[in-house]
Amino acid sequence: MGQIVNGVKHRYVIGSLNDTIVPTELTLKLSQQLNAPFYALPDSGHFLGDDGINELPLVLQLLI
């Protein structure tokens, strides 16, 4: 994790509160390990098309 923290200036972790593949607790733990803000999105599943997710405006907003 240290290489990521030292090598990546802007870090963000995004998770869904109803992800059936990755539990929110693990995503939160990752954000803590990366010292990165955690953005919790409601009702987004695992960010798959089958979950109805075709765009992630938050990601675009964070990148620009």
pLDDT digits (tens, 9 = 90+) for 3-58: 888 888 999 999 999 999 999 999 999 999 999 999 999 999 999 999 999 999 99
Q: Which residues pair with 15 in a beta bridge?
A: 40
Closest listed residue to residue 44, CA positions, set 59, 61, 62, 32: 59
Cα-based distances in Å from 42 to 8, 48, 63: 27, 14, 20
Q: What is the reported pTM?
A: 0.86
